[in-house]
Amino acid sequence: MALQEENELLTLYRDAVARFLDRHATPADLDRWREAGMVDRNFWNLAGEAGLLSPSVPEQYGGPGGDFRFELVVIEELGRRGLEGFGAPVHSGIVTGYINDYATEDQKRAWLPKIVSGEIVLGIAMTEPGAGSDLRGMRTRAVRDGKDYVIDGQKTFISNGQTADMIIVAAKTEGDRISLFVVETACVEGFTRGRNLHKMGREAQDTSELFFEGVRVPAGHLLGGEPGKGFGQLMAQLPQERVVIAAMGQAMMERALALTIDYTKERKAFGQAIFDFQNTQFKLAEARAQVAAGRAFLDSCVARHLDDKLDAVDGAMLKLWVTETAWKVIDDCFQLFGGYGYMDEYPISRIFRDARIDRIHGGTSEIMKTIIARSL
């Protein structure tokens, strides 16, 4: 496909996504979802029907056959509207890849169309109460028993945890090596969801504890067919996960800057607009330069990823730089709102709270530095 055509296709897609969100995810809906701690389940189906879920799933599996840029369009349009709480980026940009890359042909034919339609919502469960950054410390186990594996353990902080119908669960198998299993939540016994955790931001996203007590899954649900491949599979998928998180951080800092330019031009002090103070202009000029640098870095990593050349170090550098920079930009913007910025009805206050997690989930900034340092 010619580049020009691709661009036109992306623009058409962006318009369709924007129209859908403006109609079905209004500020009133968002307030309701934040209050409820999750988006309406039906919204997932509507989003699926409108083509917002897993747009890079190939056509032979019921998807529209786009590429990663289509996922990014959805992330950006969510970020522009403060809809970071809708877990589509986790579902589409993070978890779908595990099914697409490691499930069998039959499984892909059975699952991917439902993943695209929103009939199946996805989650991924790596983190445990005693094992976050240090995944090798996980205690969840899967033991082979005849034609099945039996999973016992506990996970926490799992995004889409209350909603997910299908969860990729990381567990230790023979030789203490990590393996990934597909758990269809409605088809197993011994699986329970714990609390929908109360968070300081992204309240519309359900984040949960999960419990596995003798959960029996067919051996065919071990991704990749052989035990012990999980760590490698995680390492292969994590660079894309980090681009997804960086893209959301970038969208949030762009929104923060735009809101702050408008606000400082309207608000007055000492007989002039806040915008006219040299300090304001310098802060906003710095922010503008950081936003431009973030966009260029993100675009170059996306181009590498589309060529299959983005490695773990690239992904770590991007996530580290964009999320740390976004945090500084958003904090500077927040300051320029004065006391109003602290009020919940001002979107900057929500951006401030919603953005904080990006320096932690998907690997903390410190872990990103250890990955980068190993390459030096």
Q: Tell me: does residue 117 bind ligand FAD (CB under 6 A).
A: no
Active-site entry in 128, 241, 324, 366? 241
| Nearer to ligand FAD among residue 125 and residue 178 (C-beta) | 125
Q: Is there a catalytic annotation at residue 241?
A: yes
> Whole-angstrom Cα distance, residue 245 to residue 15?
22
Helices (H), 81-223: 88, 96-102, 105-117
Helix (H) or strand (E) holding 68: helix 68-80
Q: Please, what is the end-to-end C-alpha distance for the chain in angstroms?
A: 38
Piece in contact with ligand FAD (CB under 6 A), picked from 23-31, 39-47, 125-133, 305-313: 125-133
Stretch that binds ligand FAD, among 118-126, 225-233, 267-275, 326-334 (CB under 6 A): 118-126
Q: Which residues contact 63 (CB under 8 A, 6 or more apart)?
A: 54, 55, 56, 57, 112, 113, 116
Residue 193 burial (CB < 10 Å; 0-12/13-18/19+)? middle
Distance CA 220, CA 148 (A): 8
Binding track, positions 228-247, relative to ligand FAD; x by CB under 6 A: --------------------
Binding ligand FAD (rule: CB under 6 A), the pick from 56, 96, 127, 208 is 127
If we measure between CA atoms, which residue out of 280, 323, 262 comes closest to residue 79?
323
Instruction: Give residues 177-206 in contact with ligand FAD (rule: CB under 6 A).
Output: 199
Is 136 an interacting residue with respect to ligand FAD (CB under 6 A)? no
C-alpha–C-alpha distance, residues 243 and 15, integer Å = 22
Beta strands in 202-244 (DSSP E): 207-218
Q: State yes or no: residue 169 binds ligand FAD (CB under 6 A).
A: no
Pair of tokens at residue 202: 């992204």
If one asks whether residue 96 binds ligand FAD (CB under 6 A), the answer comes out as no
Residue closer to ligand FAD, measured from CB, 49 or 366: 366
Sign of the torsion angle spanned by Cα atoms 21, 83, 101, 56: positive
Among 92, 96, 140, 207, binds ligand FAD (CB under 6 A): 207
DSSP 89: I
**Number of shown-chain residues binding ligand FAD (CB under 6 A):** 22
Q: Which two tokens stand for residue 208?
A: 């949960």
The CB density around residue 165, as the number of other CB atoms within 10 Å, is: 21
Is the CB of 215 or the CB of 284 nearer to ligand FAD? 215
Decide: is 126 part of the binding site for ligand FAD (CB under 6 A): yes
Nearest-5° Cα angle at 183, 168 to 186? 135
Do residues 93 and 75 make contact, with C-beta atoms less than 8 angstroms apart?
Answer: yes
Q: Does 132 bind ligand FAD (CB under 6 A)?
A: yes
Closest residue to ligand FAD, judged by C-beta, is 132
Q: Least separation, in Å, of the C-beta of 53 and ligand FAD? A: 17
218 has which bridge partners? 148
| Residue 159 engages ligand FAD in binding (rule: CB under 6 A) | yes
300-359: which residues touch ligand FAD (CB under 6 A)? 357
Q: Which stretch binds ligand FAD (CB under 6 A): 20-28, 76-84, 119-127, 187-195?
A: 119-127
Report in angstroms how near the CB of residue 241 gets to ligand FAD at its nearest: 10
Q: Which is nearer to ligand FAD, 72 or 320 (CB)?
A: 320
Structural tokens at position 352: 């401030």
Q: Which range in 98-106, 306-314, 319-327, 363-371 contacts ligand FAD by CB under 6 A?
A: 363-371
- CB of residue 100 vs ligand FAD: minimum separation in angstroms? 18
Catalytic annotation, residues:
241
Residues making contact with ligand FAD (CB under 6 A) = 90, 123-127, 132-133, 157-159, 199, 207, 357, 360-364, 366-367, 370
